[in-house]
Every structure is written in structure tokens, then in C-alpha cells.
Amino acid sequence: MKIFQDIHNKVKELNLIEQRRDFHQYPEPGWAEFRTASIIAGKLRDYGFQVKVGKSIMGESRLGVPSADFLNSQYQRAFLQGGNPDFMESMKGGYTAVAGILNCGEGPVIAMRFDIDALDIEETTDPAHLPNIYDYRSKNNGVMHSCGHDGHATIGLGVAKIISELKQHFKGTIKLIFQPAEEGVRGAKSIATSGFLDDVDYIYACHLWSQLPLGHIICGMDGEIATTKYDAKFIGKEAHAGIDPDNGNNALLAAATAALNLHTQPMSSKGLSRVNVGKLNAGSGRNIIAGSATLCLETRGSNSLIDEQLMENSLKIIKNAADMYNCGLKLIPMGSAKAVTSDNEIAEVVKTIAEKIDIYENIIFKDIENRGSEDFTCMMERVKNNGGKACFIGIGANVNDSGHHTTTFDFNENALAPALETFLFTTYLLSNKR
């Protein structure tokens, strides 16, 4: 098709690598993507999209938001590093979601999700690491794009630019979502519950995989694991351990009992399940009955029901442990992802498309291998519950041996252009389907 050739030519003209390396140098942790998000918002506006930022597309259920002080300092840095002041103001306090809407007349509502956050990891100084060779290592100490979201954001901007240029060939409404705080599965829920997706017919997203060879594409990944994350704060009462320990309410022992009894839960006989207390911090002094304790918990399930029941039971255990020691309790939801299946309708289109793109020599239709959790599933679930279709696409981008979330993570920049074409071709076909 002529249009595919036009798209291909436009993709070749884009400098995807330059854009990716810019994002890579200025990584920002979840809910603090002030520079990244505001630059994206500016470009979407330039490309003719209606731009929505912050609270207008975010419900009140943001999870795992850092302290105001921390966000403030990040905001200052973003300002100094070239954040777009036109949009930063309305992102204050960590409202860093951005969406661009393009109206192409009658037709389906098609949404794409691109995540934009980085991780609290210090990038390696190994001279053989490509960002060091080509001088685009992270400029932000202790923060690194070590999961490829810099690539995802770059693809999203490419989608925006080219669709806007070829607008007359597309039908319906295009919604491009740039999501904050995917790491820790914290950000998607807020956008999903805002209602912004409730008219969406098709939604899709991709992930670049550093450990899947370049040339592989998975047209619909199904192995995502449902997970829920909570912090539990036990509020006890301090007392002198020597003089009147019986006047205290021991939050440390409450948390210790909670931790042990959370781990005695039998695993599900209906699928994979997991529970973990990964952190526990309690007490202020050796000779004081501990007046406070915090415990970080997660559950996982091969389906959402297993995960939900396990978390429900886990919270019950925690409540009883707190009450056992006369402690108050604050339960803070910190993250959530679902176990959702990609719809064949989209996956088949992706497969058809992938066969037309040179680089893809290994096209996998559906794959159930467990690759961890991903909060795009919260958006998928929302769209599917409203009768829409959803699909999560995996793209091979292997360049070295390093896994995701490591200090030496990298992905193959040659995966960017074909991934971008995959989005554009798929969107073209779905938008013109009827």
C-alpha cells in the first residue's frame, strides 16, 4: 500500500535516536517526570494535538507518590534542565500525565500508551557502556532509564508527528497517552479511573525487551502477572523499655507478627500466587518500646482474582496484628497491575503488519511466558470492561547481556523505527477498518 510506503519514508526522516538520547540524559523518577512530560506536551501542541495535562486526565488514585519536598526539588531541576514552562505549572505535585488528542473525523477511538519514567538506579560508568561511548549517560545522579521508557516516549512522539502529518488518511479519534510512574505499577490506575479511556475502542502499547533478540515481535503478550502493593504503617506508643514497658504499644512486634503470618499463607491451588514482605523498619531507639513500624508488602497472582483474594487476606492479617498490639494502622495502596489477556482482534492486525516490516523475522502470535508485571494492564482492563479491545506488544531489542533494571541496561536503537512503523500501520488499519 502506498500509505505504508509514505509512512516508511517519514519514519526514516525522523531522528529517533537523537530524541531517545535526550530523554536518556535527563531521566526522572515516577511522578517527577516534569521535564520529560512538559517537553512532550509542547511537541504534541506543535503537532496540532489537543493537549491534556495533569489532573484533567488523572483520577485521585495516584499510587506511591513521593513526598512534596522531593517533588519540589525535582521540579526545580526539571526547570533548569529545559522543562517547558508552558506546561510545568499544572504538573506541580506530581501530576505528570500528558495526553494528546487528534480528531480525524468519524471512526473508532484509538488509544496508545507510552510510559515515560526512569528508575532510582545509578548508571554504570563502564567505558564500554554505549551511553558512555556516545556521551549520553544520565546527567541525573542515581536516576537512570534502565527499562527503555526513553525509547517508548520517543516512539510516542514519532507516532504523534507522523499521524498529524498524514491526518487525512486516518479516521476516528487518536488518543496518545504518556503515562508517568509505570515502575512500581503506580501510574496507570489514576488515568484509567479518570474516565479518559471510557470511549476507547482500541488501546495498545509496546515494551522494548533487552533480552528478546532484535527481529522478534510478540503480537499480544498474555503472561502478565496481577500484583498489588501496599505499605502498612503501625502506630504504636513509645515507652521506656526498662521502666514501664507495659505502658507502650509495641509496633515492632506487631509488624514482626504480621510479617511472619503473612508468609504462612498457603499459596493458591488455582494458579501461581506469591506474597512478600520486602521491607520492615521499626523503632526509634534500643531502649524504647517501638512506637512505629512500616512494612512494605506485595501480592501476585496468575490471575487478578488470586491476587485480589491474597491481598484481601493479607490486609486482614495486618489489621489483626496491629490490633493484637493495640496499634493503630494506616494502609497505603502503593501499586496495582492486572493479569489481562491481549485481544486477538488487535493481535492479528499486528501480526499482519509485522509480516510487512523487514526486520521482523520471528513473529510470535501470542505468548504466555511470564514477564513480570505491567500496569498498562489497568488501562486494558478498563477499556475491555467498556467493550473495547486491548493489546500489549513485545518488541525484541537485544544489544547486550544486561537485564532490565540493571546499571548496565541498554536496548538496541535499531528497534525504534520498526516499532514506530508497527504502531502507525496498526493504527492505520484499525482506524480504517469499517
Binding footprint of a copy of itself on the chain (CB under 8 A): 184, 225, 227, 229, 241-248, 250, 252-253, 255-257, 259-261, 263-264, 266-270, 274, 276-290, 293, 296-298, 300, 313, 316-317, 320-321, 323-326, 334, 372-373
Q: Is 230 exposed, middle or buried (0-12, 13-18, 19+ CB in 10 A)?
A: buried
**Shortest reach from residue 283's CB to a copy of itself, in Å:** 4
424: left (phi over 0), alpha (psi -120 to 50) or beta: alpha
Q: Are 334 and 229 in contact (CB under 8 A)?
A: yes
Reading the block at residue 164, the C-alpha cell is 498529524
Nearer residue to a copy of itself within complex by CB, 284 or 386:
284
**Shortest reach from residue 262's CB to a copy of itself, in Å:** 9
**Shortest reach from residue 294's CB to a copy of itself, in Å:** 10
31: left (phi over 0), alpha (psi -120 to 50) or beta: left
Amino acid of residue 194: S
Nearer residue to a copy of itself within complex by CB, 3 or 296:
296
Q: Are strands 216-218 and 362-364 parallel, antiparallel or unpaired?
A: parallel
Nearer residue to a copy of itself within complex by CB, 141 or 269:
269
Separation of alpha carbons 233 and 229, rounded Å: 13
Separation of alpha carbons 299 and 278, rounded Å: 11
**Shortest reach from residue 396's CB to a copy of itself, in Å:** 20
- Tell me the torsion sign for CA atoms 126, 128, 129, 131: positive
**Shortest reach from residue 242's CB to a copy of itself, in Å:** 5
**Shortest reach from residue 325's CB to a copy of itself, in Å:** 8
Which residue's C-alpha cell is 512486634?
253
Nearer residue to a copy of itself within complex by CB, 136 or 234:
234
Separation of alpha carbons 56 and 204, rounded Å: 21
Nearer residue to a copy of itself within complex by CB, 217 or 334:
334
Nearer residue to a copy of itself within complex by CB, 247 or 385:
247
Separation of alpha carbons 98 and 191, rounded Å: 10
**Shortest reach from residue 31's CB to a copy of itself, in Å:** 17
Nearer residue to a copy of itself within complex by CB, 68 or 260:
260
DSSP 282: E
